[in-house]
Structure 1
Amino acid sequence: MIGDQATMLREMLKRSDETRHREATESPARLSLANAIASGKGGVGKTNVTVNLATSLAQQGLRTIVLDADLGTANADVLCGLDPRENLDAVIAGRRTLREIMVTGPGGFELIPGTTGGSELASLSPERRNNLLRQLGELESEADVLLIDVAAGVGTDVMGFASAADALIVVATPEPTSVTDAYAFIKSIRRHAPGRVPDLLINASDSDEEAREVHQRMDRACRQFLDFGLPLAGIIPRDEAVRRAVKARLPYVILEPSSAPSRSIKRLATRLGGRPACHSQDQAGFLGRFVQWLSSRKPRS
């Protein structure tokens, strides 16, 4: 079944790539830079990081789209004070398109609200999944940055998104359980995508020293057992500004733009915003890589 679905998706991408190639001979179509935001466990502030990063990128003038792919427990809209009428459930059911359910978040980024149904993308019927991925592919060339807020843990969709994205940020706190789960996540993604080098983002740290200690320990473990060095994406300090922003249902970069967490997020946004987007004639793009990942999976017995 998985093999058949992958074949259908490859054919869809082939037709799309042929069209893109014809267009690229005259005017190269730029694909968005896709960043997956992940975590080994829930409760580390992953979604809060995502919406604040999206807000900051949009404030820089970059067209930013957030895909709330935390299927089943999607709540990016809550943190932004939004009340969307529809979400991915409506797109999957064929009642709405992605463009119809998109809502504008604080600062100007666009949010694709996630499903509350809990179904993984990999478990959808071929027709429904093809329809969703086709629409996502159309949006890919219209944005500068695509942020994918994936579910915590190592589910099928998570591994697919994390493997296919241009960049992967793993969010962890200094708590021992979070560090352990983040390392387990990194081990898992390295099995699925051996060349993938994620960046570690330490959230809710009591001090820079504490965060750097955590990073150094994880970096040593990655070098010793996984054969790669673990880059540090940034450190977001523990601060009451974050709690106040959650209560106000606003990103802290808007509610308290001068706070320490806001300054940290803005530095990360500047780094991400400075990376070049992909070009369709020499890059498969996020969607193409996701389909390639799907086709490489062994069929279920």
Structure 2
Amino acid sequence: MQSPDPHLPHALSSGPEGADAPAGPVRVIAVASGKGGVGKTSVSVNLATALVNAGQRTLLLDTDLGLANVDVMLGLTPTFTLADVFADRCELRDTVIECPNGLMIVPAASGKRHMTELQPSQHVGLVHAFSELDLDLDVMVVDNAAGIADGVLTFCQAAQDVIVVVCDEPASVTDAYALIKVLSRERGVSRVQVLANQVQDHREGKQLFEKLERVSARFLDVTLNYLGAIPRDEWLRRAVQRQEAVVDVFPSAPSSVAFRDIARRSRQWQSPSGARGHVEFFLERLVAPAATRGAAA
């Protein structure tokens, strides 16, 4: 069958197939950063693992489409990745890996330059494809590429919440501001959670947040919330070397305690009550409950 959109493979096209998507909204949290090398993927992996450990049915989506490393961080060898979906070698559901702890992962590909050159319509097509993914989920964590490429902006726009990771480097704060500015002005993102990573203590993390908040409050119409800080931790470095999540392998480590706190805070965020009128992950699951409430009224 040919895809209705010539830019999209059949596996990402909308249609009657998969129309029986399960009811119930899925909270989607996008993790992003302006600068690379701030530990964004480690944050995504450990946040998702902490959510699973707290009883949340969680999917971790790697959207660093050309330099993916979620699978590497967890020692996985995927049979299929998103590159195979776009090449029509498999369906999106065929890429899902279930880890022993229950965390589900959709891996991207590494070293596939053409995956970094997808059209905006293909990014939107990937978002829409999740409406047809038949998985029983509470939350999805999206690990984005660094920077302000179209895919990053689209995947952040399509999430209910955006976490921007910063570390104690001037370039990290400057680039985080640039990302927040573009998300606010071009994609209508009005609320951003800021997470300080690789800091000495909470005081240093709060100071980083305040730097970012001062300049954002002056020039942008966006609300920044301080999500917390992840400390520099030798146990986290060891977990990375072992290709395991620190919250699993060293649960009493300072970074593990911090990640569990971040997961607890994220569970307290207000759940999506319905569609917001633009491209969104799991859109049909947002529309269906809203329609049901309207009919009941």
TM tier, shorter chain? Answer: 0.7 to 0.9
1:63 equivalent in structure 2: 57
Deviations 1:261-289 (A, max 9, x none): 11111011112233454466888752549
User: What stretches of structure 2 of length at least 5 have no aligned partner?
Assistant: 8-12, 285-297
* 1:258–1:283 Cα change, 3 Å: farther
Question: Counterpart amino acid of 1:118?
Answer: R
Q: Tell me the CA shift for residue 153 of structure 1.
A: 0.2
* 1:229–1:32 Cα change, 3 Å: closer
Residues 61 and 105 of structure 2 are in contact (CA less than 8 Å); yes or no, is this contact kept in structure 1?
yes
2:200 maps to which of 191, 206, 217:
206
* 1:163 to 2:179 alignment: no
1:245 maps to which of 239, 242, 251:
239
Q: Tell me the CA shift for residue 229 of structure 1.
A: 3.8
2:131 maps to which of 128, 132, 137:
137
1:230 equivalent in structure 2: 224
Corresponding residue SS for 2:108: coil
* 1:260 to 2:257 alignment: no
Higher helix share: 1
* 1:107 to 2:101 alignment: yes
Q: Matches of 1:60 and 1:279 in 2, distance apart?
A: 22
Question: Counterpart amino acid of 1:123?
Answer: L
Residues 174-213 of structure 1 aligned to structure 2 (within 5 Å): 174-213=168-207
Corresponding residue SS for 2:256: helix
Residues 189 and 222 of structure 2 are in contact (CA less than 8 Å); yes or no, is this contact kept in structure 1?
no
* 1:283–1:259 Cα change, 3 Å: farther
Corresponding residue SS for 1:107: coil
Q: Matches of 1:150 and 1:263 in 2, distance apart?
A: 24
Q: Matches of 1:212 and 1:125 in 2, distance apart?
A: 36
Corresponding residue SS for 2:191: coil
Question: Counterpart amino acid of 2:212?
Answer: M
2:281 equivalent in structure 1: 286
User: What stretches of structure 1 of length at least 5 have no aligned partner?
Assistant: 7-11, 290-301
Q: Tell me the CA shift for residue 159 of structure 1.
A: 0.6
Runs of 4+ in 1 over 4 A off after TM superposition: 12-16, 128-134, 279-285
* 1:5–1:184 Cα change, 3 Å: farther
1:93 maps to which of 87, 90, 106:
87
Size of the aligned set, in residue pairs, is 276
Q: Tell me the CA shift for residue 124 of structure 1.
A: 4.8
Q: Matches of 1:121 and 1:13 in 2, distance apart?
A: 22
Give the TM-score normalised by structure 1: 0.81
Q: Matches of 1:144 and 1:121 in 2, distance apart?
A: 29
**Which stretch of the first structure deviates more once superposed, 238-247 or 87-96?**
87-96
Residues 37 and 148 of structure 1 are in contact (CA less than 8 Å); yes or no, is this contact kept in structure 2?
yes
Deviations 1:103-162 (A, max 9, x none): 123632100011232345883597x77874554212376311011111100000111111
Question: Counterpart amino acid of 1:269?
Answer: A
Q: Matches of 1:157 and 1:200 in 2, distance apart?
A: 20
- Give RMSD over aligned pairs: 3.2
* 1:277–1:138 Cα change, 3 Å: farther
**What is the percent sequence identity of the aligned residues?**
36
* 1:129–1:94 Cα change, 3 Å: farther
Larger relative contact order (CA 8 Å, sep ≥ 6)? 1
Give the TM-score normalised by structure 2: 0.82
* 1:151 to 2:145 alignment: yes
* 1:287–1:258 Cα change, 3 Å: same
Q: Tell me the CA shift for residue 13 of structure 1.
A: 6.5
Corresponding residue SS for 1:73: coil
* 1:280–1:214 Cα change, 3 Å: closer
Corresponding residue SS for 2:101: helix
* 1:131–1:156 Cα change, 3 Å: closer
* 1:123 to 2:92 alignment: no
Q: Tell me the CA shift for residue 98 of structure 1.
A: 2.1
Q: Tell me the CA shift for residue 91 of structure 1.
A: 1.2
* 1:133–1:248 Cα change, 3 Å: same
* 1:75–1:106 Cα change, 3 Å: farther
